[in-house]
Structure 1
Amino acid sequence: MKIDNSMSLHILPLEQAHVKDVFSIELQAHTHPWSLSLIESIDGRGACHRVLLDKNNKVVGYFYAQNILGEVTLLNIAVDPKYHGSGYGKVLLNAFLDMCSNHDAESAWLEVRESNHRAYTLYEAAGFNEVDRRKSYYPTSNGKEDAIIMSYLFF
C-alpha cells in the first residue's frame, strides 16, 4: 500500500525477509533493544506487524503490534536513526492507527519511556492520552525510569 507520493513510502506486512534489516534498526534505535528471537517472532497471536519501505524498497522503519479482541497494543516502533526527524515516525504511527481502524479496533494502547519526549509528543498529537504510569519500569544506563501508558479510543 502506498502511503505518501511525495516520499514514495510503502507500508507492508512484516515478512521473514525483513527481519535482518528490522533487527539492525532495532539495535541502532533503542538503548535497550529487543533480542533477535523477539524480532524473529512475527507470527504470534494477534500479530499485525508492518515495515516502512522507501522508494528503493529498503526498510527504514517498522512497528510490531498485537490485536486481541479489538484492543490493539503497539509493542515496538522504530525508525532508522539516519532518518530521524524526517516524518517517518509520524507515517508509521498513522499507518498503525489506520490499520487499527481498518480492523475495527475499539482501542489502541502503547507505553513510552518518560525520557522519550519526541515520541510522547508525537503520540499525544495523534490523539493518544496518558492514562497511567508504570513506576521504574524501563532500565536506563543509571537506574530505571517510568513507562507512560497511553491509549487511543476509536469511537
Structure 2
Amino acid sequence: MTKTIFVLNGPNLNLLGEREPSIYGTTTLRDIKARCDAKAASLGFAVDFRQTNFEGELVEFVHQARKDACGIIINPAAYTFTSIALLDALKTFDGPKIELHISNVHARESIYHNSLISRTATGVMLGFGAAGYELAIEAMAGLATPS
C-alpha cells in the first residue's frame, strides 16, 4: 500500500529564502522539500511535494490527492484568505488535512487573520518557521491511514 502525503505550496513560496527573510526565514523551498522527504521516510511515508503560483493548478493538485494521497499538508499562502475554489476542492478530500503557515499569521496584519482553509482543515500549524513542515509530517503520520 502506498502511504503518500501531498505537501502543497501556494504562490510565492518558490521565493522562500529570498522573500522577506525577516518573516519567512532563509530556508529555501528546496531545503524544506529535502527535510520533508527525510522526515516522511523515517516514518514510513512518501511525500509528493509541489508548489504553484496558480490557483487552478493548486485545485488540480487537491483533486489528484483524492486518488493518490492519504493526507494533505497545505501552505496555501495568499490563497488562504481568498480562495473559495481551493476551500471547495479541499472539502472533497476525505482524509486529514493540515493547514500550514511559516509565520504566525495571527501576529501579523489583520488581512491575514481570516483563513477560509481552516474551515476544512483537520488541524492548523503556524509560526514554527520552516520546521513547521517537519512537525506537520509527524502530525500527519499520526492522522493518516494508507491510501
Classify the TM-score, shorter chain: 0.3 to 0.5
Structure in which a larger fraction of residues adopt strand: 1
Structure in which a larger fraction of residues adopt helix: 2
**Which structure's relative contact order is higher, taking Cα pairs within 8 Å and 6+ residues apart?**
2
- TM normalised by structure 2 equals 0.38
- TM normalised by structure 1 equals 0.36
The structure number with the bigger radius of gyration is 1
